[in-house]
């Protein structure tokens, strides 16, 4: 009888776990090669909600294959049980896909993380947008550089990224703030990973260019790149040749660091950012990088997927509205604290778009801060 009771409890638990929504949510992310954090976030929500989450990926060459991205999003709407779709990153084609879906299904809500499209465009289509406070980082990254004693900042990017309003605005703010603080700011045009040379060519450029820049500007040079695929080679080059790593483009303890350092995170620790920060910190210190590498303690793109699902759930159930700042902040903060209990996110909306939420967190420095 006891064994039967235990089995019944387990069965009820599994049933409640996988029937927690009562409807389906589509989740659209890049592949591991284009954005591992958001892909892992999708895996996490699949584990949490089971078959009620439908996870699909957009193509690695999303700029050239926008119709494929649109088609994959629209296909989710053919399932009448799908009541919400969460997209991260919101690559070009996202707005067009949302509008096509809304023509078919006005009842589907959309939460978009890390949009690549203009704020005025995406905010008119999606219900809720989640983004790192990109313009705000234009100042905080330079303040971090000053704290680390950096004298020159190398900013790697390319024309496609500089055509994005907020990325361009961040670069301009970085340049202005650097001038105010007496730091030399240098923009370096790198190959676009979606261009002819591909990701491999862009990564090779970073590996070769970092020592060139250090030879030119000296050891007090800090580096920042706007591209996810460039983070590992940038981290590796700085570990090998010197200089400072001024946070990943998408702030996270897992963005580049485990791959760069050869760290395998156990399955039972993949969501434990305190553990990950500690093992990354230990490895960086061992390799002589103490005081030269920084990040945020919360994986923002992963958070935007997981919190995005909870926001979508609340929107469908009408427990929160798209412009409820306190409600949205509470959901995102609760999810952040599950990963890093000391998380302290600041949030604001991007004026005049009341459904466009931007988050910022204080940096942590490996070899200096305690985890």
- DSSP class per residue in 251-305: --TTSSHHHHHTPPPPGGGTT-HHHHHHHHHHHHHHTT-TTSEEE-SS-HHHHHH
- DSSP class per residue in 52-73: GEEEEE--TTTTT-HHHHHHHH
Among 272, 297, 322, which residue terminates a domain? Answer: 297
Residue 351 clears pLDDT 90, i.e. is over it? yes
Specify the CATH number for the domain of residue 55: 3.40.50.11400
Q: Is 371 inside a domain boundary? A: no
Note whether 143 and 90 are same-domain residues: no
Note whether 229 and 317 are same-domain residues: no
pLDDT tier at 60, thresholds 50, 70, 90 = confident
Q: Give residue-wise pLDDT tens across range 127-169.
A: 999 999 999 999 999 999 999 999 999 999 999 999 999 999 9
**What tokens were used for 275?**
């553990």
Residue 272 clears pLDDT 90, i.e. is over it? no
Q: Is 235 inside a domain boundary? A: yes
Q: Is 88 inside a domain boundary? A: yes
How far is C-alpha 87 from the geometric centre of its chain's CA atoms?
Answer: 12
Note whether 152 and 277 are same-domain residues: yes
Note whether 286 and 162 are same-domain residues: yes
Average pLDDT over residues 321-344: 95
Computed over every residue of the chain, the mean pLDDT equals 92
Tell me the whole-structure pTM to 2 decimals: 0.85
| The predicted structure's pLDDT at residue 14 | 40
Note whether 262 and 328 are same-domain residues: no
Number of domains in the chain: 2
Average pLDDT over residues 222-237: 96
| The predicted structure's pLDDT at residue 15 | 40
- Between CA 296 and CA 304 the distance in angstroms is 14
Q: Is 206 inside a domain boundary? A: yes
Residue 338 clears pLDDT 50, i.e. is over it? yes
* Positions of E strands within the chain: 24-29, 53-57, 82-90, 109-115, 128-132, 152-157, 184-189, 221-225, 244-246, 293-295, 346-350, 353-360, 364-365
Q: Is 269 inside a domain boundary? A: yes
Among candidate residues 158, 211, 223, the one with its CA nearest the CA of residue 185 = 223
Residue 126 clears pLDDT 70, i.e. is over it? yes
Specify the CATH number for the domain of residue 219: 3.40.50.11390
For β-strands 221-225 and 244-246, DSSP reports them as parallel
Note whether 8 and 120 are same-domain residues: yes
Residue 1 clears pLDDT 60, i.e. is over it? no
pLDDT tier at 63, thresholds 50, 70, 90 = confident
Higher pLDDT, 353 or 271: 353
- Between CA 72 and CA 58 the distance in angstroms is 7
Q: Is 347 inside a domain boundary? A: no
Note whether 207 and 105 are same-domain residues: no
Note whether 58 and 105 are same-domain residues: yes
Q: Is 344 inside a domain boundary? A: no
Q: Is 352 inside a domain boundary? A: no
Range of the domain at 247: 134-297
Note whether 292 and 146 are same-domain residues: yes
Note whether 102 and 138 are same-domain residues: no
Among 239, 272, 297, which residue terminates a domain? Answer: 297
pLDDT tier at 267, thresholds 50, 70, 90 = confident
Residue 13 clears pLDDT 60, i.e. is over it? no
Note whether 94 and 138 are same-domain residues: no
Note whether 292 and 306 are same-domain residues: no
Q: Give residue-wise pLDDT tens across range 230-258.
A: 999 999 999 999 999 999 998 889 989 99
């Amino acid at each position: 009888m006891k064994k039967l009771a235990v089995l019944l409890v387990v069965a009820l638990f599994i049933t409640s776990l996988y029937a927690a929504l009562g409807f389906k949510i589509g989740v659209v992310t890049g592949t591991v090669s284009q954005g591992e954090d958001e892909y892992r976030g999708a895996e996490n929500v699949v584990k949490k909600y089971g078959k009620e989450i439908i996870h699909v990926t957009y193509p690695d060459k999303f700029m050239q294959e926008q119709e494929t991205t649109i088609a994959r999003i629209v296909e989710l709407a053919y399932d009448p049980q799908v009541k919400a779709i969460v997209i991260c990153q919101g690559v070009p084609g996202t707005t067009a896909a949302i509008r096509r879906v809304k023509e078919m299904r006005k009842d589907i809500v959309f939460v978009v993380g890390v949009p690549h499209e203009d704020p005025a465009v995406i905010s008119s289509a999606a219900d809720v947008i989640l983004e790192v406070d990109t313009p705000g980082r234009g100042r905080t990254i330079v303040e971090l550089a000053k704290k680390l004693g950096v004298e020159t900042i190398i900013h790697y990017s390319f024309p496609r990224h500089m055509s994005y309003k907020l990325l361009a605005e961040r670069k301009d703010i970085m340049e202005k703030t650097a001038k105010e603080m007496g730091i030399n700011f240098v923009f370096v045009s790198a190959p676009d990973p979606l261009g002819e040379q591909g990701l491999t060519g862009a990564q090779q450029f970073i590996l070769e260019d970092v020592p060139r820049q250090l030879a030119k500007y000296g050891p007090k040079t800090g580096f920042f790149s706007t591209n996810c695929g460039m983070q590992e080679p940038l981290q590796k080059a700085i570990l090998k040749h010197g200089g400072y790593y001024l946070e990943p483009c998408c702030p996270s303890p897992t963005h580049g660091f485990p791959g760069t350092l050869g760290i395998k995170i156990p399955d039972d620790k993949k969501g434990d950012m305190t553990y990950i920060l500690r093992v990354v910190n230990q490895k960086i210190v061992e390799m002589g990088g103490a005081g030269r590498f920084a990040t945020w303690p919360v994986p923002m793109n992963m958070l935007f997927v997981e919190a995005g699902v909870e926001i979508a759930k609340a929107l469908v159930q009408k427990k929160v509205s798209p412009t409820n700042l306190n409600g949205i902040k509470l959901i995102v903060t609760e999810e952040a604290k599950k990963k890093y209990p000391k998380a302290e996110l600041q949030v604001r909306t991007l004026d005049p778009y009341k459904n466009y939420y931007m988050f910022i967190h204080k940096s942590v420095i490996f070899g200096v801060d305690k985890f």
